[in-house]
Amino acid sequence: MNLGRRLRPDTRLARRGLPVALVALLAVPLRAQQQPLTPPDHFQKLAHTYSIVAWDSATGDLGVAVQSKFPNVGGIVPWARAGVGAVATQSLANTEFGERGLDALARGKTPEQVFRAIAGRDTMLQDRQVGIVDARGNAVSFTGRRTFDWAGGRVGCGPTPPRRADSVRVERTANRCRVVGGKGVLILGRDYAAQANIMVSDLTVRNMAETFERTQGSLAERLMAALHAGQAGGGDKRGMQSAALLVVRKNGGYLGANDRYIDLRVYDATDPIAELDRLLALHRLHFFPSDSADLVPITPQIVRQLEPILLSEPAGQPQKWLAAPQGRVTGRFLEALRDFMYWENYDVRVRMDGRIDRVVLEDILQKRRH
């Protein structure tokens, strides 16, 4: 199959007055009605999924959020590299879009160029669904003709959104707009790409796109809001099973040693999005450094709250964190508190300046109230 030739814009359409950029979008024919009556042999290998890939213009963060009626979707769909891009490959996932796709983005290729290069040698392209965004905010989404209903995608509008056509249309709400595409079409836009297959309806993708656009906060918060909204729109026809959240940031990983700012996976759960929420809260506590607004002086009252813990723990060991009461903030008290916090995995929030993170303090006390 010569995908390169099939994807070339039809010059006859251009002569009819359609912009070349739009003609390129329409180059892969839309055949939404050609739905197989019986599932193919590889049906059980398909990741029946909804996802969103996105770029944060304020921080440069890149990320993917995904939910599926498929175990361990986080090991298949999401790919991202700080300063490069993010990819979601689903339906019958082709991990080449993630591995080689990110390599190509790092070499300066656009998401459209990356898609077309890999698509040109993909013999099962029409079973695929792909979303790609780069570190400049360029985004594409593709849904193959053989994906199962409901299937399609949305991307944020670029500077010159395409005009309405049979296979591509533009939604406008307030001051925003988004490009909507169905089966067999590659859509181009900005900032994010949302896509889904085997959904109850197109409301899943519409909810994801609209919610991501209007939600304030970090990229992780916006992606999670989009994931919740997608499920509220009906989600996967077969139910829920797994979910994942991947956000990359330069030196954003553990103690600044890598770029894996957030990498969470729910392998199998009754409500994987709720479980992902729980894991994200844990991740913030144990992997995010303290916010300056959360740092408070260790007052005599706080010493009175913490000292009994330092004098009695670790349980089952003769040597405790603190050998004798201090009654105030001393060097020995701070050393004992430091060792205790490392033991309890508050590594990135340890301090020796007479202050403590109130979020950590609340967690310490909460865990010992029962």
For residues 140 and 155, the answer to whether their CB atoms sit within 8 Å is yes
How far is it, in rounded angstroms, from Cα 309 to Cα 305? 8
pLDDT in tens, 224-280: 999 999 988 766 556 689 999 999 999 999 888 899 999 999 999 999 999 999 999
Question: Which of the residues in the chain have pLDDT under 50?
Answer: 1-37, 39, 42-47, 165
Instruction: Calculate the dihedral angle through the C-alpha atoms of 324, 330, 331, 334, rounding to the nearest 10 degrees.
Output: 80
For residues 196 and 174, the answer to whether their CB atoms sit within 8 Å is no
pLDDT, residue 34, reads 40
pLDDT, residue 46, reads 47
For residues 194 and 154, the answer to whether their CB atoms sit within 8 Å is yes
Q: What is the DSSP letter of 136?
A: T
DSSP 9-20: PPHHHHHTT--H
How far is it, in rounded angstroms, from Cα 268 to Cα 181? 31
pLDDT, residue 173, reads 75
pLDDT, residue 223, reads 98
Q: DSSP 3-state assignment of 279?
A: helix
How far is it, in rounded angstroms, from Cα 353 to Cα 253? 24
Residues contacting 15, CB < 8 A, separation 6+? none
Q: DSSP 3-state assignment of 168?
A: strand
pLDDT, residue 170, reads 84
How far is it, in rounded angstroms, from Cα 226 to Cα 204? 9
Composition of the chain by helix, strand, coil, percent to 5: 35, 25, 40
pLDDT, residue 329, reads 97
pLDDT, residue 356, reads 98
For residues 196 and 153, the answer to whether their CB atoms sit within 8 Å is yes
pLDDT, residue 285, reads 96
pLDDT, residue 255, reads 83
